[in-house]
Amino acid sequence: MSNKIIKFAGFDPSLRNFGIVTGSLNLDTAEVTDVSIKLIETEATSAKKTVRTNSDDLRRANEIWRGIKPIVDSVNIVFAELPVGSQSSRAQTSYGLCLGVLACIDKPIIQLTPNDIKMHIGGKKDTSKDTIIEWAVSKHPDAGWFTKKVKGEVSIVSKNEHPADALAAVYTGLETDQYRQAVSMMRAFF
């Protein structure tokens, strides 16, 4: 059996904190290597009186797309936790913008729900963010996780939840029928 290695990206989309993980994936063994993380952070403008909210949303979506486009161009497959509906109109706007950004991706996307990921990583639908972060850091400790140093002690910070969710999306996606079908087709080309 030959080792066919492809590049992947994992995304945890959010308008404020778009979590990203990249690496290499062996199509024959499903081994994930060379993992690195990134976080695209956008903020609403403070000039509310001079910039319309929809114009600011467009700017933020563009920042995200410009951040992920080079990554998308460099990978063969994407794993993404798709955002789910929300209770507020503001959160629904973020949901729509994130789906719009994901819709621009011209690579196979393995789609996961937050519940899929929580069940895969923690075995229950209410798996905590801390559990997912701990799992991700232990799985790939050299991925470049965000840390802070206080009184000589280095600790992992909470904003790792976004790239940790992206990594969890990758590992969850590897177990799906959608991934197995994509791999069957990719083997013919790689």
Over the chain, what is the mean pLDDT? 92
The rounded distance, in Å, linking the Cα atoms of 180 and 161 is: 27
What is the spatial distance between Cα 66 and Cα 29, in angstroms, rounded to a whole number? Answer: 32
Q: Could you tell me how many residues make up the chain?
A: 190
State the pTM of this model.
0.93
Which CATH number characterizes residue 160's domain?
3.30.420.10
Our count of domains for the chain comes to 1
Which residue do the tokens 């936790």 mark? Answer: 81
Full residue range of the structural domain in which residue 38 is found: 5-187
Q: Per residue in 107-148, pLDDT tens?
A: 999 999 999 999 999 999 999 999 999 999 999 999 999 999
Q: Return d(Cα 37, Cα 156) in angstroms, integer.
A: 13
User: Could you give the CA distance from residue 56 to residue 52 in angstroms, rounded to a whole number?
Assistant: 6
Q: At residue 1, does pLDDT exceed 60? A: no
Residues 6 or more apart in contact with residue 104 via CB below 8 angstroms: 65
Q: Both tokens of residue 41? A: 């952070």
Residues 41-88: pLDDT tens digits?
Answer: 998 887 666 778 888 889 999 999 999 999 999 999 999 999 777 778
Q: 159: which DSSP letter?
A: G
Q: How far apart are CA 167 and CA 160, in angstroms?
A: 11
Does 151 have pLDDT greater than 60?
yes
**pLDDT score for 53:** 82
